[in-house]
Amino acid sequence: AKAAGRGTSHFFNDSLRQQAESHLRLHNEIKRGLAENEFAVHYQPIVDAASRRLVAVEALLRWRHPRRGLVGPGHFIPVAERTGVIRALGDFVLRQSCRDLVAMQRAGLDIRLAINRSSREFNDRRTVMNWLEIIDESGVARDRLTLEITESVLMPDKARQHRLLRRLNAEGVGLAIDDFGQGYSSVTYLKKFPVSQIKIDRVFVQDMGESPEQRALVEALVKMAQALHLQVVAEGVETTEQADQLTGLGCQMLQGFHFGRPMPLAELIERFGPARSS
């Protein structure tokens, strides 16, 4: 029962505690889910803009929850980042997707693999060494991989992460800036950083048809990337018009529902694997 005269600060503490409790519950659920093999990695096609052929896939995490069905990362990754269980999830995604890349290669797909990483997933040299170990154990060549990191990682106060990313890149792993144009982005910094690719956020792509201004904005982002000698991937491509416009603007790669939604390994191989010669 609530005591009379309780101040708002108590309510605030209450809700903070409730939040902490619900985070802890989800944290434990995730650990249980990992142990029960409920997590899966789906793959979304990335095509070459000129030929429209598959050149890469992006690994996207899914939770096959026994009661809630297929759950997308937006529902659990933010909490996983806060409780730290994101590291275990990240290791799972890396291990599983490297194995799957080997299966894709065996099925005749000569493609690259992109994996998402938030800066909360790495702080120390050991983590990065562990990732390299996971990659090497799978038999996948390090230069087949691209780590997608968000712009905020480039902020000047992330010196430690910068060192680790440089190290990873020196070891062969490619780096891409995800959701480009969404947030902080220092051109000077981008120039100094060993990034080879930027991904234009789907918000820009989807607003492109609305006005000449929006289109000019995407054009400016592409021009800037080109001036920095970076490859450009456009995300969220849903229509032929968008695909053709983006190709015309000089994007090298395209990704979006128009080319395929994130799908399980078997479906990817069935749809994109070269037909077996008979």
Segment contacting ligand C2E (CB under 6 A): 8-16, 137-145, 181-189, 234-242? 234-242
Of 100 and 148, CB closest to Ca ion: 148
Touching ligand C2E, residues 120-179 (CB under 6 A): 148, 178-179
x-marked contacts with ligand C2E along 3-42 as a string, rule CB under 6 A: ----------------------------------------
Q: Give the integer Cα–Cα distance in Å for 92 and 77.
A: 13
Residues 6 or more apart from 193 whose CB is under 8 A from it?
154, 162, 165, 166, 175
In whole angstroms, the minimum distance from the beta carbon of 24 to ligand C2E comes to 20
Identify the burial level of 131 via C-beta atoms within 10 angstroms of its C-beta, where 0-12 means exposed, 13-18 middle and 19 or more buried.
buried
- State the angle between helix axes of 86-106 and 125-138 in degrees (0 to 180), rounded to the nearest 10: 20
257 binds, among ligand C2E, Ca ion, none (CB under 5 to 8 A by kind): ligand C2E
CB 235 within 8 Å of CB 199: yes
Segment contacting ligand C2E (CB under 6 A): 73-81, 124-132, 137-145, 246-254? 73-81
The reply to whether 242 sits near ligand C2E by the rule CB under 6 A is no
Strand partners, 274: none
In whole angstroms, the minimum distance from the beta carbon of 235 to ligand C2E comes to 6
Of 4 and 91, CB closest to ligand C2E: 91
Compute CA distances 166 → 125, 128, 161, 169, 263, whole Å.
11, 11, 9, 5, 31
